[in-house]
Amino acid sequence: AQSDNPDYTAFLVRLISEMGGNTAVPILEKAARDGDTAVRAIIIDILVATDMRGPLIRQLYTDMLQDADAHVRQSAWAGLVQLEGESGTALQTLAGHMLNDPDPAVRARVLPVLLRAEGTPHREQALAVLAQFLHSEDRAQQVQGIRVLAQVGDVYALNQLLQFVAAAADLVRLETAVALETAVTASRTKIPPHMVPQLTRSMLARLDDPVERVRQAALLIIAALGTPGDQAILPQAFRDSSQAVRVTAVNALVGLGKAAVPIVHPQLDAPLPQQRKLAAMTLSRVNVREYGPLINTHVTANLLNIFRHQGYLLALQPLTNFAGVAVLCSALREENDRLLQEIFYLLTAVRNPADVRIIHE
């Protein structure tokens, strides 16, 4: 499997593993031990990806925990977890030793096993290593600590995450918000009731966060856990400068079902067309029979605006050699494109989204 081309090496290893199955294990095991760092990394990664098993594989993974290359050590650890599961005492003992690994990524990789384990003698050491990550001056290491907490996902981890919701660093806030969103939307019943008010308050404060994805996470968490009073704030996102955030607000409100109607209905009289359109979009998805005609009204208005702009473009065509007129024409074309994209989005409220997507494409 030796080659100067990593892609070719990976192809050969995958071919051998697929063609030979378990009979190829001795060949791949020997190639991993005899190969250079790149070959070892490729072979271990593919063995893990193909879920190869057996005593030779287990011993190879165990030995590769001592490899000089951090990537190989991480992959070998992933393979052992795949083989043994997280509850084994032997695996937890290995994890305890790896907390002293010189590479931060390796230490972060083994932390979730020890933090999720009950009664392990290595828990205190694991908590100390986690604290080093979370309070590091290195933002990359701090983010690794946040990702560890996201994987652990218990009450302790959630409490720790709440401490970083308003962190000064954008990347730390982003990772924290995504981790909390995952915890809430994937298993909201596991969020302890006493934590819900603090969690929703922290997310309400992030609705104007400068990071788009943080605002999206805040909307989803408030929709999932907030009181009706909290959820009544969600339509404010219809004015957000980001289309992704506005769409997230619509989806979050639609997820509330009929409870969204009294929250959104006043937005039909909002001052901005964007607010009125998104209100119609939300209400139509909740009750298409009652509110679907609103979509037709907005689609018609968009079409009329597009035709009006086309008339302007035709009238201005002889004057496009003037720079100012050329800029105006470009702006009109961009606005027409925006209005057209908006039409397709609005239509998904009253038509099959897959059908609309086919027509759009």
Q: Give residue 343's pLDDT.
A: 94
Q: Report pLDDT digits (tens) over 190-208.
A: 788 899 999 999 999 999 9
The dihedral built from the CA positions of residue 115, 118, 123 and 124, taken in this order, carries a sign that is positive
Question: Using an 8 Å Cβ cutoff, are 62 and 96 in contact?
Answer: no
Q: Give residue 70's pLDDT.
A: 92
Q: Which residue has the higher pLDDT, 11 or 2?
A: 11
Residues 6+ apart with CB under 8 A from 348: 356
Q: Give residue 219's pLDDT.
A: 98
CA atoms within 13 A on the CB side of 202: 22
Q: Give residue 5's pLDDT.
A: 64
Q: Report pLDDT digits (tens) over 14-64.
A: 777 777 677 777 777 787 788 788 888 888 888 888 888 888 888 988 888
pLDDT, average across residues 208-216 = 97
- State the chain's mean pLDDT as an integer: 90
Q: Give residue 264's pLDDT.
A: 97
Helix residue ranges per DSSP H, the chain: 6-20, 25-34, 37-49, 55-64, 70-84, 89-98, 104-116, 123-134, 139-152, 155-162, 170-186, 196-204, 212-225, 228-231, 243-254, 260-264, 273-286, 288-316, 323-347, 353-360
Q: Give residue 22's pLDDT.
A: 72
Tell me the percentage of the chain whose pLDDT exceeds 90: 63
pLDDT, average across residues 265-293 = 95
pLDDT confidence of 6, banded at 50, 70, 90?
A: low
Question: Using an 8 Å Cβ cutoff, are 61 and 79 in contact?
Answer: yes
Q: Report pLDDT digits (tens) over 135-186.
A: 999 999 999 999 999 998 888 899 999 999 999 999 999 999 999 999 888 7
pLDDT, average across residues 83-90 = 80
Among 26-40, 61-75, 253-267, the least confident range? 26-40
Closest C-alpha to 255, from 184, 329, 341, 161: 184
Tell me the percentage of the chain whose pLDDT exceeds 70: 95
Q: Give residue 117's pLDDT.
A: 84
CA–CA separation, 172 and 324 (whole Å): 44
Q: Give residue 20's pLDDT.
A: 66
Q: Report pLDDT digits (tens) over 280-313.
A: 999 999 999 999 999 999 999 999 999 999 999 9
